[in-house]
Amino acid sequence: MDSPFWVYLVGLVGMALYGVRILIQWYLSEKAQKIVNPASYWVMSSVGAMVLYIYGWLRQDFSIIFGESVGYYIYMWNLWMMGMYKKCPRILIILQALFPVVIIGLMLSDFEAFVHGFLHNDAVPPALLAFGMLGQFTYEIRSVYQLVYSYRKKMSVLPLGHWVLAVIGSVMIITYGLIRHDWVLVIGQFAVVFSVRNIMLHFAYTHRCRKQAAKQKNADPQAGI
């Protein structure tokens, strides 16, 4: 389904926010030579998700809305864990929490039109829609993994599994975007390069830690006893 240029522009803004978040995270991680989890990552994730909710609604693409719904409130949880809401007006928090409800409400306001436009869209056959939803789910389930991992650690972190799922999901979304002729989705997944780099940084940091531990053990044999 072709859309006006301004609709694609909305999608590009959302993808740009997602792209900038990982560029900042990657830059800080390269400086630290390990995976870093800055608050800006979650701020831009939240704003980017809101923009992509609008894009998915305008494009009548249920896979996008479904994907954003998986991670949206997890982004908010990470912001809460980092103390980002302490100085934020409560009305803004409430509006942020209600945003997906409003978009989904608009989408379902005419249920017959929703079924026809989102689920029986000629431009997105059921098999393709299912594949797109699977790709979005795989990409966004990394947020659920990150939530569980962070909850156990009692702090917000970006673990290895988060980046592995991001790479797998990105490849699937790129494939879906190419089939759907949605160049916004394809371009938006350029961040897969930085997800791969974060995986490399994780293993490099782990290797350094093990090497340093072994060196200390050899220097002080009693330390391992």
Q: Which residue range(s) make up the domain with 66? A: 5-215
Residue in the block written with tokens 């809305």: 65
CA angle at 120 for the pair 45 and 169, rounded to the nearest 5°: 35
Could you read off the pLDDT of 81-139 as tens digits, one per residue? Answer: 999 999 889 999 999 999 999 988 888 887 777 777 666 666 677 788 889 889 888 98
- Residue 225 has a pLDDT of 52
Cα–Cα distance for residue pair 85/121, rounded to 1 Å? 39
CA angle at 12 for the pair 161 and 177, rounded to the nearest 5°: 65
Report yes or no on 13 lying in a domain: yes
Q: Above 70 in pLDDT, residue 182?
A: yes
What pTM does this model have? 0.78
DSSP per position, 129-167: HHHHHHHHHHHHHHHHHHHHHHHHHTS----HHHHHHHH
- Residue 163 has a pLDDT of 95
Q: In the chain, how many domains are there?
A: 1
How far CA 11 is from CA of 43, 59, 205, 208, in Å, comes to 18, 9, 35, 40
Report yes or no on 18 lying in a domain: yes
| Segment 161-178 mean pLDDT | 93
Report yes or no on 220 lying in a domain: no
Could you read off the pLDDT of 46-73 as tens digits, one per residue? Answer: 999 999 999 988 888 888 888 888 889 9
Report yes or no on 56 lying in a domain: yes
- Residue 91 has a pLDDT of 95
Cα–Cα distance for residue pair 207/11, rounded to 1 Å? 39
Kindly report the average pLDDT of the chain as a whole number.
88
Q: Which of 215, 219, 197 is nearest to 207 (CA)?
A: 215
Report yes or no on 120 lying in a domain: yes
Cα–Cα distance for residue pair 127/55, rounded to 1 Å? 22
